[in-house]
Amino acid sequence: MADAPAGVRPEVRRTLRRVPELVQAGLVPPEAEAALAAVAARYAIAVPPELAALIAPGDPADPIGRQILPDAEELAPAADEWADPIGDAVHAPVKGLVHRYPDRVLLLPTLVCAVYCRFCFRRERVGPGGAEGLTDAELAAALAYVRDRPAIREVVITGGDPLTLTPRRLGGIIAALDALSGVRVIRLHTRVPVAAPERIGPELLAALSCDKALFVALHANHPREFTPAATAAIRRLTGAGIAMLGQSVLLRGVNDDPATLEALMRAFVEVRIKPYYLHHLDPAPGTARFRTSIAHGQSLMRQLRGRVSGLCQPDYVLDIAGGFGKSPIGPGYLSAAGDTITDWRQRRHPLAGDGIERQRPS
């Protein structure tokens, strides 16, 4: 960094995982090195080239940097934060599988990701060190659990990021699920198309090919993540006949203003991805700098409803701490008593219980 002129950063050519590398790349200031080394000892770091290139030099508030660069605050958790905020452990009947709802399960074959998001709700578990993926025997046990329960119609492959698996390993898992007659839908949750778009190649596409309805849910939080390379990777997925969904986390200082949230939802839809969920931030340790209030989230959702197409509207959801599952958190348009309804321009209309509006708006 010493020989680079101000405002110019050396190009990042491979994924950065160590604090000295981040300093050298000009992504964090040298004086922060010691404090960030302590963070790195506890939580995994991965800053891939595709995302590193998006971070504005010298801007500590950059919305991409904020998501993926470590911060000393991570080691100072607030009192109300939880190591397992959504209660995975409460509903894990076999290793690598979470069964909370009757008709669907999560399968976590790996805990490795292409990028480690600083706000991750599984941050105490994800990462390369110690947290290996499932062994063949453990995977077989998880698949047997699904096979023996015909009520399970959908398997959501997550982690970690399943698209970091080798095409061979992922292909084996997809083929095994494809062979289970009870499983009708396979879904994968990933950040790879924006974090490491080069991974979406012919071998990975072949691994995803199956007879079941296959959905890929892309996790992206800022419109800038839709780079030309990411957009091309998404086109390769949709071009292969894969249906895609968008999921985002509402993050203070990243996407919690009306213009950014609108641009993010439009960016999804313009590459043929249907926004599915906007997650309210889960209280994982050391994530207070990303927190917003539910009232603020509802206000943003109201503004989104008033400004953009229904295609761009995700469900705003909260995963109830302790393992109780996700619930939509509004905003509601029907009054609590059910006798008025609000329109997209925030005007209220009287309403009878049968849903018929009996008066003109005042």
Ligand X SMILES: *Cc1c(COP(=O)(O)O)cnc(C)c1O
List all residues 6 or more positions away from 129 whose beta carbon is below 8 Å from its beta carbon: 44
Chosen from ligand SF4, ligand X, none, partner binding at 156 (C-beta under 5 to 8 Å by type): ligand X
Chosen from ligand X, ligand SF4, none, partner binding at 307 (C-beta under 5 to 8 Å by type): none
Chosen from ligand SF4, ligand X, none, partner binding at 113 (C-beta under 5 to 8 Å by type): ligand SF4
List all residues 6 or more positions away from 254 whose beta carbon is below 8 Å from its beta carbon: 63, 66, 67, 221, 222, 260, 290
Residue of 299, 234, 307 lying closest to 268 (CA atoms): 234
Rounded CA gap, 200 and 195, in Å?
Answer: 11
Residue 103 beta carbon to ligand X: minimum distance, rounded to whole angstroms: 9
Indicate the residue among 27 and 277 with the shorter CB distance to ligand X. 277
Is 326 a residue that touches ligand X (CB under 6 A)? yes
Residue 60 beta carbon to ligand SF4: minimum distance, rounded to whole angstroms: 21
Rounded CA gap, 33 and 20, in Å?
Answer: 7
Indicate the residue among 191 and 305 with the shorter CB distance to ligand SF4. 191
Strands 315-320 and 325-328: antiparallel
Task: Return the residue of 20, 56, 101, 342 that touches ligand X, per CB under 6 A.
Answer: 101
Is 301 a residue that touches ligand X (CB under 6 A)? no
Gyration radius of the chain's alpha carbons: 21
Chosen from ligand X, ligand SF4, none, partner binding at 104 (C-beta under 5 to 8 Å by type): ligand X
Residue of 263, 190, 258 lying closest to 230 (CA atoms): 190
70-99: which residues touch ligand X (CB under 6 A)? 86, 91, 98
Chosen from ligand SF4, ligand X, none, partner binding at 106 (C-beta under 5 to 8 Å by type): ligand X
Rounded CA gap, 90 and 93, in Å?
Answer: 9
**Which of left, alpha, beta for 116 (phi over 0: left; psi -120 to 50: alpha)?**
beta
Site string for ligand X, 104-143 (x = CB under 6 A): x-x-------------------------------------
Chosen from ligand X, ligand SF4, none, partner binding at 157 (C-beta under 5 to 8 Å by type): none
Indicate the residue among 9 and 122 with the shorter CB distance to ligand SF4. 122
Binding residues (CB under 6 A) for ligand SF4: these are 113, 116-117, 120, 122, 126, 159-161, 191, 219
Indicate the residue among 23 and 113 with the shorter CB distance to ligand SF4. 113
Indicate the residue among 156 and 192 with the shorter CB distance to ligand X. 156
List all residues 6 or more positions away from 241 whose beta carbon is below 8 Å from its beta carbon: none
Rounded CA gap, 173 and 192, in Å?
Answer: 18
Indicate the residue among 68 and 207 with the shorter CB distance to ligand SF4. 68
Question: What is the separation of C-alpha 296 from the centre of its chain, rounded to a whole number of angstroms?
Answer: 20
HEC assignment per residue over 206-275:
HHHCCCCEEEEEEECCCHHHCCHHHHHHHHHHHHCCCEEEEEEECCCCCCCCHHHHHHHHHHHHHCCCEE
Would you name the residues annotated as active-site residues? Answer: 100-101, 104, 113, 117, 120, 122, 282, 319, 326
Which position's Cβ is nearest ligand X? Answer: 100
Indicate the residue among 27 and 113 with the shorter CB distance to ligand SF4. 113
Rounded CA gap, 67 and 296, in Å?
Answer: 20
Chosen from ligand X, ligand SF4, none, partner binding at 199 (C-beta under 5 to 8 Å by type): none
Count of residues in contact with ligand X, rule CB under 6 A = 9
Q: Give me the long-range contacts of 75-78 (CB less than 8 A, separation at least 24).
A: 75/38, 75/39, 75/42, 75/286, 76/286, 77/285, 77/286, 77/288, 78/283, 78/288
Residue 279 beta carbon to ligand SF4: minimum distance, rounded to whole angstroms: 10
Contact positions vs ligand X (CB under 6 A): 86, 91, 98, 100-101, 104, 106, 156, 326
